[in-house]
């Protein structure tokens, strides 16, 4: 699966600093929402109550995870995704690690190392 194919799925969880306009997670969240994707903002470090702290809190189906977070936290997110049956992840530059890639390969999680903003631009969105 490639990044363009992942865009065929409409329910995305964006993982990272989704409330900070300076961060890519925030920009990705808004760009996906503007393109009529259903976006679930997740930040395990945020205690404001404005976003989900974990994937388990999301009660709707998540098709794709956009991983835009430190890999040390990212591996926990990927493990949680696997437990929940979420099997597609777009790994932003800087969010990947050998541990994350190995886990995805071992567990049959489709992954793409790319930037959601670039993939959306390629699609003309």
∠ CA 116-118-120, rounded to 5°: 65
pLDDT in tens, 25-77: 999 999 999 999 999 999 999 988 899 999 999 999 999 999 999 999 999 99
What's the pLDDT at 125? 81
Residue 40: burial class (beta carbons within 10 Å; 0-12, 13-18, 19+): buried
Tokens standing for 114?
A: 């790319």
Helix, strand or coil for residue 100?
Answer: helix
* pLDDT tens by residue, 1-39: 999 999 999 999 999 999 999 999 999 999 999 999 999
Q: pLDDT (tens digit, 9 = 90+) per residue, 91-121?
A: 999 999 999 999 999 999 999 999 999 999 9
Residue 45 CB: number of other CB atoms within 10 A?
10
The domains found in the chain, sorted by start residue, are 3-122 (3.40.50.720)
Q: What is the dihedral of CA 21, 40, 97, 84, to 10 degrees?
A: 170
**C-alpha to C-alpha distance for 71 and 83, rounded to whole angstroms:** 18
Would the pTM of this model clear 0.85, i.e. be above it?
A: yes
């Amino acid at each position: 699966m490639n990044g363009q194919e992942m865009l065929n799925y409409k329910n995305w969880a964006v993982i990272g600093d989704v409330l900070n306009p300076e961060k890519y997670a925030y920009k990705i969240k808004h760009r996906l929402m503007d393109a009529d994707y259903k976006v679930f903002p997740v930040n395990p470090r945020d205690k404001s109550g404005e976003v989900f702290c974990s994937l388990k809190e999301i009660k709707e189906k998540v098709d794709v995870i956009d991983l835009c977070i430190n890999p040390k936290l990212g591996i926990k997110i990927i493990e949680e995704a696997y437990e929940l049956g979420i099997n597609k992840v777009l790994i932003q530059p800087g969010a990947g690690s050998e541990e994350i890639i190995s886990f995805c390969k071992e567990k049959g999680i489709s992954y793409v190392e790319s930037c959601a903003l670039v993939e959306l631009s390629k699609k003309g969105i």
